[in-house]
A and B are shown apart, each in its own frame.
Chain A
Amino acid sequence: MLVEPELIERARQGDAGAFNQMVAAYRKRILGTISRLIGRPEDVEDVAQEVFVRLYYSLDQLRTPEVFEPWLYRLSVNACYDYLRRLRRRGEYRMADLSEQQVLMADSSASGKRSDEDAEKVRLREFVDALFRHVSEEDRLLLTLKEVEGLSLKELEKVYRVNENALKVRLFRARQRVLKAFQAAREDGKL
């Protein structure tokens, strides 16, 4: 854990300073996770703030400080779901659904030429985002948490409050779909 249990306990009791310290400790991690889950850099901060607002008002429901991190991940995943649902309702798409090359070109024209390394990173992100389109939004989030964020099955069990075996099955199916798309892409010479 990035913070001591005592700090969480103080924040639970309404200590604003302790809450600030908690946010400072987890801000970067949560921003990174949300960025990878929603794929729209311009909205990452807004969703992260929503997560911390929800955290502030639900801290008293936290049973023990030991389950704080899964709790925070759970709030993050739920906030991402809500955000993506709102987006779907409004008929908008994730940045990842657009061509990142187009975004890169727009950026390049605005701020000069990008390095080859940046272009390679963009190409890689675009490729993985295209692979993730072979699974549902829910499975993409789950797969990202497992494979990219590196959460263990035990941690995911606490985040999703679902039986570990059910998670294993869901993850296996989602990964198989992505793997199939990956193999097809390799055979087509896209990678």
Chain B
Amino acid sequence: MTTNDQRLNALFAQYRDACPEVEGSPEFMPVLWRRIEKRGSVAYLLPRLARLACAASAVICLVLAALVSLPGLAAPRSTASAATYADALSADHSAEKTYYTESIRATDNLVPADYSR
């Protein structure tokens, strides 16, 4: 440790002694308890909760606005929504095909042995 380091340490010690002692007023405890009771009261908590709710809703609004406005984050447009309902119906035959195929197969199974000859 250098001499200047030691001098600085001594200076800090002197500084501590030079700082005035603070005793606090006789009203310290009564005022403290009044503040504790006020802090616990609804009158104190309600405005704080309201401010908190406002801040939370503002944050949610900002996040939603960002999600909507950013092109990359927006939900991709489905190709189906671009076409008309009729187009979509005509394009989708899978259900009908399945129905007819299944019924034909079912009918084949029901044919009696004599008729199949």
Q: Of A52, A120, A182, which is within 8 A of B8 by CB?
A: A182
Q: Interface code B32-46, partner A: CB below 8 Å = 1, 0 otherwise?
A: 100110011000000
Closest Cβ neighbor of A31 among chain B residues: B22
A51 to chain B, nearest CB (A): 10
Number of interface residues of A (CB under 8 A): 36
The answer for the CA separation of A147 and B12 in the assembled complex, in Å, is: 6
Contact at B11–A128, with CB atoms within 8 Å?
Answer: yes
Number of contact residues on B: which range applies? Answer: 20 to 34
| B-binding segment of A3-11, A42-50, A62-70, A76-84 | A42-50
Contact at B28–A147, with CB atoms within 8 Å?
Answer: no
Q: Counting CB contacts under 8 A, is B7 at the interface?
A: yes
Q: Counting CB contacts under 8 A, is B18 at the interface?
A: yes
The answer for the CA separation of A123 and B110 in the assembled complex, in Å, is: 113
Q: Of A53, A124, A127, which is within 8 A of B39 by CB?
A: A53
- The tally of CB-CB contacts under 8 A between chains A and B is 79
Contact at A48–B12, with CB atoms within 8 Å?
Answer: no
Knowing A28-B24, A147-B12, A183-B4, the reply to whether A53 touches B19 (Cβ < 8 A) is no
The answer for the CA separation of A120 and B17 in the assembled complex, in Å, is: 12
The answer for the CA separation of A148 and B18 in the assembled complex, in Å, is: 11
Knowing A53-B35, A53-B39, A182-B7, the reply to whether A124 touches B20 (Cβ < 8 A) is no
A82 to chain B, nearest CB (A): 14
Contact at A53–B5, with CB atoms within 8 Å?
Answer: no
Q: Counting CB contacts under 8 A, is A121 at the interface?
A: yes
Contact at A57–B39, with CB atoms within 8 Å?
Answer: yes
The answer for the CA separation of A179 and B19 in the assembled complex, in Å, is: 20
Contact at A49–B35, with CB atoms within 8 Å?
Answer: yes
Q: Counting CB contacts under 8 A, is A23 at the interface?
A: yes
Binding site for A on B (CB under 8 A): 4-5, 7-9, 11-12, 14-16, 18-25, 28-29, 31-32, 35-36, 39-40
A-B contact pairs, 11 of them (CB 8 A): A27-B24, A32-B21, A35-B20, A36-B19, A45-B24, A125-B18, A125-B19, A128-B12, A148-B19, A179-B8, A182-B8
